[in-house]
Amino acid sequence: MRAYERLLKYARVYTTSDPNSGTHPSAEREFDLAHILVEDMKAIGIEDAFVDEHCYVYGTLPATPGCEDKPALGLIAHMDTAPDASGENVNPILHENYDGSDVTLPATGMVMKVSAFPFLASMKGETLITTDGTTLLGADDKAGVAEIMTAVETVIREGRPHGKLCIAFTPDEEIGEGASLFDIPGFGADFAYTVDGGDAGSVEYENFNAAAATVTIHGFSVHPGSAKDTMINASNVAMEFHGALPVMARPETTEGRQGFYHLCQMYGDVTEAKLGYILRDHDAAKLQFKKDNMQDIADYLNGKYGDGTVEVEIKDSYRNMLEKIKPHFHLVETARKAIRMAGLEPEEVPVRGGTDGARLSVRGLPCPNVFTGGMNFHGVYECIPVKSLDKGAEVAVMLAKKSAEVTSLQ
């Protein structure tokens, strides 16, 4: 089975994670895909595949004869999809022999314009998978799941030599919890790669440092007819707080290694208002400045409106993996070789986001990221070429091949 066929199957399973649940997994529906994957893994020859009580799927493929002493390679992807757009009743659309022009999404009539997404023109003649316009596609990261499954099936079917292969599929990556309960000792890998996002050919080993902030504003409500010098409108104070943050440090005004404050949620009334932010920066010191700045704004507003008016709660999410990858840079060099063996040129750019691999690297499992080949993640314009899925699976096969040639972990 080709990777795109698996993606079409897995994309239809509703696995959106829930950032507000506080449970592991965040949504019971994530088990639906986990159970399917266990069955599929056993069907291709991963006999010990299982899903644990927290919805982590694990399985191993023992080393082939003569490769038992080689380092164990891990391949990891996440099953959940982002809550930014609906992931329920996904209906993937195949555009065969795509002509390179604007794409109309059939269920809504929404149009993916080449003028907005110039990469579309370069895909003329390929088979493109899109949404129908009502949901996201879920290639982030079910494309990674499909590519790993296809790669392992290829390795088994063709009898390719390999060291021990450790496979894992995680829940809740999209809400920053994918690595929280990952069983690194039980997984059994010496090093690993996440297969998650990125243009075809990309290998990524530098990502954002990340935190999440919740700002709660407590107002004081009185009748508006007699409110002068008495009312504290929580919604107005919330707008004042947000207005104090720099406009040029938002996702829509930054790129490359520039960090940002991203307002993800806001709601409230006169009595209480809440603002939900994510904070990102590749530089840990600059992320700390952003956290301190938010507290400084709160302190200023509390001085203006009274102690306890504004509360800021900040939680760290993940760290830049670069410091943990540098001592194991052979992983990046191996990925470069695998990508070239698949006929692509490696592309290395800092990730403006995070992966399970970032947190796993910090926890002691070095884990850079290789591409899936999808684009426009987290929305209805998400898409992926079939060719990129094939190449992603091929790179995973080449990683298995190269792991069988490794003589040292350094």
pLDDT tens digits, residue range 304-332?
999 999 999 999 988 899 999 999 999 99
Annotation marks residue 190 as catalytic: no
The reply to whether 173 belongs to the active site is yes
Q: Which domains does the chain have, with CATH numbers?
A: 3-206+320-403 (3.40.630.10), 209-318 (3.30.70.360)
pLDDT at 197: 79
Give the sign of the dihedral formed by CA 195, CA 208, CA 170, CA 326. Answer: positive
Cβ pair 310, 301 in contact under 8 A = yes
The pLDDT score that the predictor gives to residue 184 is 98
Q: Rounded to the nearest 10 degrees, how much is the dihedral formed by the CA atoms of 140, 143, 148, 153?
A: 160
Instruction: Give the pLDDT confidence score for residue 317 in this predicted structure.
Output: 83
Choosing from 18, 40, 80, 281, the catalytic residue is 80
Predicted local distance difference test score (pLDDT) of residue 198: 81
% the chain with pLDDT above 70: 99
Q: What is the CA angle 140-72-163, rounded to 5?
A: 105
Confidence of residue 351 (pLDDT cuts 50, 70, 90): confident
AA letter at 366:
P
Q: Is 80 exceeded by the pLDDT of residue 220?
A: yes
Two structure tokens written together for 25: 């997994």
Catalytic pick among 147, 172, 173, 177: 173
Q: 26-63 in b/e burial notation, b at 16+ Cβ within 10 A?
A: bbebbbebbebbbebbeebebeebebeebbbbbbbbeb
pLDDT in tens, 233-287: 999 999 999 999 999 999 999 999 999 999 999 999 999 999 999 999 999 999 9
Mean pLDDT confidence for 42-68: 97
Q: Report pTM.
A: 0.87
Which two structure tokens, joined as six digits, stand for 39? Answer: 């069955």
Q: Where are the alpha helices (DSSP H) in 306-370?
A: 322-325, 330-341, 356-362
Q: Residue 408's pLDDT is what?
A: 57
**How does residue 410 score in pLDDT terms, banded at 50, 70 and 90?**
low
